[in-house]
Structure 1
């Protein structure tokens, strides 16, 4: 299954470096025109010029800080009004290291704004536009951290759990002609480590650190295979399927008219 045979434009957030820039490269080489969104005008311009020269595709740039309401609205409007856009790569995100009680609340709020609010608003604009045309693709970059509270990234992990749940629910609500994918990277060599205050990617176990080219190529392969949830480092897709099946097994008992018998032990007569 592939939705990339449509000749649509891809709008990519967080496109100046790392995962976003790599998506831009791969999609440009597949012939897709691009709209690149990020805060760093210089890097965006350099990447756009490189891709135009190497691939001949049209590349527009939008300088935007997606934690700023006016900038976010500008990108939403482009998604709503530009009928050439068929692909949204919702990639922009940030992490924050350290224990929750030691983290700065302003930085926490900014992370929630970028990782949740901007992802939601951009997906909303794209979904409405794609639904009207009954075609398109929304790829949301999540994280395996959202599956693993043991990693103790309290707010960052919670924002990524949101992104995965959000994507899974959109799949139930939107037309099958609109492809949804949540990509859950593990540790990946990008600048997010330096910006999070964790000491950089070099401080990680190299056996756990994926190169960004491998990550994006795997994510695209998962997209072509029609996956809703892609975990590039997971050797056996059946393991996630079993995890999801165990979750689904809970559903009939999550909301009932009476509490479970195990909570009635020792009740007064």
Structure 2
């Protein structure tokens, strides 16, 4: 990937997405910024193009709306200059599962999973054919921890991790790098929008620190980057335990503990 290649970033008007935009612009990449708030996008585009002398296009889109999503998909399919997709757009919501409405849950799933996988699907074949490019999917450590109580949000982020790992296995041999980034609590507007008071959280990472760490993982070509994980061997141990579990699954035989005794 050359530094003159274009990066398309969803959820780019603020927070993690806007910070990715600034960091990639600083590296000399042209940008396509996608979000709902066109006024903020225009302001960010003007700032970054002036500061870093890169080309910045704005694509206003609500990724929960089929027509808007289709427009972003077309851009990813047709614009050969786009070599990096940052799938950052996402949302959370407060309350327990039974307190959340069916419609709000469905909208959360649409944004956090359906839109993300459709955009990856739109760009991956072209990148694979070119033998170059990258997809960055923003997940969350909540996807590893049902104990945290954010059931639907966590489930969508578990999907993002699984998808990213599967895509990495499929696409890496074709020259396409896939990275899953799993932030912990980060100081962005997602908390206010979801009705969660960020001041109730004991520890919160600054967004610049999060993105800088994620990009270091990107440069190292990590398949999974967890900036807040201080003992890297924990992840290695989890993967080893998972592989050991899979080795003990014998599909033809019911495990002894489930066998009915005569």
What TM-score results when the alignment is normalised by the length of structure 2? 0.97
2:178 maps to 180
Q: Which residue of structure 2 aligns with residue 204 of structure 1?
A: 201
What is the aligned partner in structure 1 of residue 254 from structure 2?
259
The answer to whether 1:243 aligns with 2:238 is yes
Is residue 107 from structure 1 mapped to residue 101 from structure 2 by the alignment? no
The counterpart of 1:161, out of the listed 148, 158, 162, is 158
Match of 2:94 among 97, 119, 131: 97
Alpha-carbon distance between aligned partners in 1 of 2:113 and 2:160, rounded to the nearest angstrom: 7
- Cα 1:268/1:232, change in 2 over 3 Å: closer
Q: Gaps spanning 5+ residues in structure 1: where? A: none
How far apart, CA to CA, are the structure 1 residues paired with 2:31 and 2:113? 23
Moved more, 248-257 or 111-120: 248-257
- The reply on whether 1:121 has 2:136 as its aligned counterpart is no
| Alignment partners' CA distance in 2, 1:187 and 1:115 | 17
Q: How far, CA to CA, are the matches of 2:229 and 2:172 in structure 1?
A: 28
Check conservation: 1:88, 1:139, Cα contact below 8 A: yes
Gaps of 5+ in 2: none
Aligned partners of 2:3, 2:180: CA distance in 1, in Å?
20
Helix, strand or coil: the match of 1:257? coil
Q: Please give the alpha-carbon distance, in whole angstroms, between the structure 1 residues aligned to 2:250 and 2:99.
A: 36
Residue from 42, 46, 49 that aligns with 1:49? 46
Deviations 1:199-229 (A, max 9, x none): 2x22211xx2000000000000011111100
Contact 2:140 2:183 in 1 (8 A): yes
2:217 aligned to 202, 222, 229, which one? 222
**In 1, Cα distance between the equivalents of 2:254 and 2:126?**
44
Give 1:193's aligned residue: 191
- The whole-number CA distance in structure 1 between the counterparts of 2:170 and 2:161 is 15
Contact 1:22–1:212, Cα closer than 8 Å, also in 2: yes
| TM-score normalised according to structure 1 size | 0.95
What is the total number of aligned residue pairs between the two structures?
A: 261
CA contact (8 A) 1:134 1:175 kept: no
Q: CA deviation at 1:168?
A: 0.1
Report the 3-state secondary structure (helix = DSSP H, G, I; strand = E; otherwise coil) of the residue aligned with 1:233: coil
Q: Distance in 1 between matches of 2:257 and 2:136?
A: 42
SS at match of 1:16: coil
| 1:253 shift after superposition | 2.8
What's the RMSD between the two structures over aligned residues? 1.0
Instruction: Give the Cα–Cα distance (whole angstroms) in 1 for the partners of residues 196 and 101 of structure 2.
Output: 14
Once structures 1 and 2 are overlaid, which stretch shifts more, 169-178 or 116-125?
169-178
CA distance in 2, matches of 1:254, 1:35: 45
Tell me how far 1:178 sits from its aligned partner.
0.7
Deviation at 1:85, TM superposition (A): 0.4
SS of alignment partner, residue 212 of structure 2? helix
